[in-house]
Structure 1
Amino acid sequence: MTSIVGREPISGPSAWRGDELSKSAEWIYVLSDAERAELEDLGRRFVADDPDLRTVTATDYRFDACRALNDECARQMDTGRGFVLVRGLRTKEYGDVMAAAIFFVMGLHLGRPIGQNQRGDLLDHVIATSDKTLSDEGALPSRVRDRLPFHSDSSDVVALMCLRGAKEGGASSLVSGTTVYNELLLRRPDLAPRLFDSYHWDWRRQDPDSPELTYTSPIISYVDGVFSTYAGSSMVFSAQQYADVPKLTPDQVEAINLFDEISQHHGLPIDMDFQPGDVQWLLNYAALHSRTGYVDHPQPERRRHLLRLWLKRDVGRPLTPGFGKHVVEMGEPTGPPLAGGRFRIADAVTVNDDWGV
């Protein structure tokens, strides 16, 4: 394996611009009647079977009509633009539990669901559970209404299903990590090497029950011609509060800030307004994700509510040693899960309001 900091831009299907991509619907996969019917049948059976989410496998819920859907999602994540939006599920008709069951079955066919916190929850929620803002002590990004900076999650794949949208705002935003790097390389080639440095990331802010305060990772990996990104400036900067974390150099601060600034540059991101039933599949190494700030409906039951899956998907992708959240097995708890984990679909789809408040 070789890792080279080059001065040439990275090419390929993952190097897209949002203003160009949004001119077409090529990134949206609309379910056929047969695909939707099969997913609904599998969802009903999943709810009736009520399997343990920790042990159920894709072979228990085989695809037939949805094989092409699954192949396209896998192709786009592994070797394509890095993401796909699947549209056409009628979640309003059959409710949250069956919607979550369908989402989980789809996830089983694309990877292995992994724990998203020290409780071991395999299905988590993106929903505002208080009126905290991102700057408040202990606030989790998934549980506030603020705009989020572009970042990566702690998995190979992150998937979102929209159960309910916001009253205003709350668009899901994606940006190509490859395109952001290429633009930074064009503007400031002298700063590009700093993205390959290893940084401390604030683990405690990502998970209040984390066993350590931080872990380390570079922002960019380029190994054997394969480019990957792991970004999240707020977690790098907040880690600076801990006494044992080395202070960032001026060049490192400038490089991180410029990477974040470019990711928000007009024309680079693509924004999508989630509709109920939409499912977004994203390879964390190919694209960064964010959302715009939003206003909720006043009724608690109408709050913006997304379900989230983290998947381990082994496609043999070469990565720089110590890249990403390598301190654990891609998001797995470091020991026996803490009390409170929910491993049945009807329990897992209920918002854990005590998390991140």
Structure 2
Amino acid sequence: MTSTTDPAFMSGPSAWRGDELSRSTEWIHHLTVAEREELEVLGRAFVADDPDLRTVTAADYPLDACRALNEECARQMDSGRGFILVRGLRTDEYGDEVAAAIFFVMGLHLGQPIAQNQMGDLLDHVVATSNKTMDDKTALPSRVRDRLPFHSDSSDVVALMCLRGSKSGGASSLVSGTTIYNEIVRRRPDLAPLLLEPFHFDWRRQDPDAPAETYTSPIVSLVDGVLSTYAGMSMIFTAQEYPSVPRLTPDQVEVLHLFDEISQEPGLAIDMDFQPGDVQWLLNYAALHSRTSFEDHPEPERRRHLLRLWLKRDAGRPLVPRFGKHVVVMGEPSAPAQDGGRFSIKDAVQVNDSWGN
């Protein structure tokens, strides 16, 4: 395994532009009748069985009609464009419990669900339970209506299922990490190698109970010709508030701002207006994700509501040592599970309205 610091343009299916990709529907898989019916049968069985979400396995709910779909989702994440949208579930016909069960079963076949909060929840919610804005340091990004900056999550795979859309806005935005890197190489080849060096990320801001203030990771891993990204510029800048963290150099500040500016340039990202039943699978190392700001319906039961899974997945991807949020052992909670963890699908699908307020 060899790594490199020589800036060079990277090619391949993960180097896409949103304005080009959005002209086609190649990134959308429309379920066949057989696939949809199988998932609905499995979802209803899952709800009836009510297994412990911490111990249930893919083997407990085997796929037949959906095997090709599962293989395509895996291929697109591991060696394709890095994401795929699956469309065609009729969630309005069978409600949130069955929908959540279908989502969880699909996730079991693509990786191992991991904890998303200190309570150990394996299924989490992206829903505005707070009127805070992202200017508030206590705001939880998944529980506000603001636009989010492009970033990577703390897992190999992040997946979203849309239960209900917003009144307006709230598009899911993805941008290719490879394309951003290529643009930096084109414009500032002198700065590009800095992305392969470790940066301090604010661990305490992400996890209030974290045992240390920061962890370090490069933004770009380039090994054996495979480029991966891990980004969250706001967490790098807030880490500068800790006296123990080395000060960023002017060149580092410049390349961080350039990375962020390029990610937001018109045409680079692809925006998806989620429809109820849509499921998005994303490999965190291939693309960054964001969300546009949105307005909710006034009725609480109609508010924008997505389910989220974080998966541990061996994508066969070579990475430099200590890349990403390596301080957390995937497959285990970042802190011991506390009272309040929800490990029944019937409980997990219910929104904790106090979380993030």
Looking at structure 2, the residues matched to 209 and 167 of structure 1 have their Cα atoms a distance apart, in angstroms, of 35
Does the Cα contact within 8 Å between 1:208 and 1:356 map onto a contact in 2? no
The aligned runs of 1:194-213 (5 Å cut-off) are 194-213=194-213
> How big is the shift at 1:207?
2.8
> How big is the shift at 1:66?
0.3
Looking at structure 2, the residues matched to 327 and 346 of structure 1 have their Cα atoms a distance apart, in angstroms, of 31
| Aligned twin of 2:269 | 269
| Aligned twin of 1:35 | 35
Looking at structure 2, the residues matched to 189 and 267 of structure 1 have their Cα atoms a distance apart, in angstroms, of 22
> How big is the shift at 1:335?
4.5
> Is 1:183 aligned to 2:186, yes or no?
no
Looking at structure 2, the residues matched to 85 and 196 of structure 1 have their Cα atoms a distance apart, in angstroms, of 30
> How big is the shift at 1:189?
0.6
Q: Which amino acid aligns with 1:63?
A: L
TM-score with structure 1 setting the length: 0.98
Secondary structure of the residue aligned to 1:193 is helix
Secondary structure of the residue aligned to 1:44 is helix
| Aligned twin of 1:319 | 319
Secondary structure of the residue aligned to 2:253 is helix
| Aligned twin of 2:297 | 297
| Aligned twin of 2:110 | 110
| Aligned twin of 1:310 | 310
| Aligned twin of 2:69 | 69
Does the Cα contact within 8 Å between 1:17 and 1:269 map onto a contact in 2? yes
Does the Cα contact within 8 Å between 1:31 and 1:86 map onto a contact in 2? yes
| Aligned twin of 2:169 | 169
Q: Which amino acid aligns with 1:253?
A: V
How many residues matched? 357
Deviations 1:151-201 (A, max 9, x none): 100111000000111111000000100000000110001110111121111
> How big is the shift at 1:123?
0.5
| Aligned twin of 1:241 | 241
The aligned runs of 1:71-220 (5 Å cut-off) are 71-220=71-220
Looking at structure 1, the residues matched to 119 and 209 of structure 2 have their Cα atoms a distance apart, in angstroms, of 9
Looking at structure 1, the residues matched to 102 and 161 of structure 2 have their Cα atoms a distance apart, in angstroms, of 10
Looking at structure 2, the residues matched to 356 and 208 of structure 1 have their Cα atoms a distance apart, in angstroms, of 12
Which moves more between the two structures, 331-340 or 195-204?
331-340
Secondary structure of the residue aligned to 2:240 is helix
Does the Cα contact within 8 Å between 1:325 and 1:331 map onto a contact in 2? no
Structure 1 unaligned runs (5+)? none
% same residue: 77
> How big is the shift at 1:144?
1.0
Secondary structure of the residue aligned to 2:45 is helix
> How big is the shift at 1:331?
6.6
TM-score with structure 2 setting the length: 0.98
> How big is the shift at 1:332?
2.9
> How big is the shift at 1:6?
2.3
Looking at structure 2, the residues matched to 331 and 200 of structure 1 have their Cα atoms a distance apart, in angstroms, of 23
Secondary structure of the residue aligned to 1:241 is coil
Structure 2 unaligned runs (5+)? none
Q: CA RMSD in A?
A: 1.1
The aligned runs of 1:46-61 (5 Å cut-off) are 46-61=46-61
Q: Which amino acid aligns with 1:41?
A: V
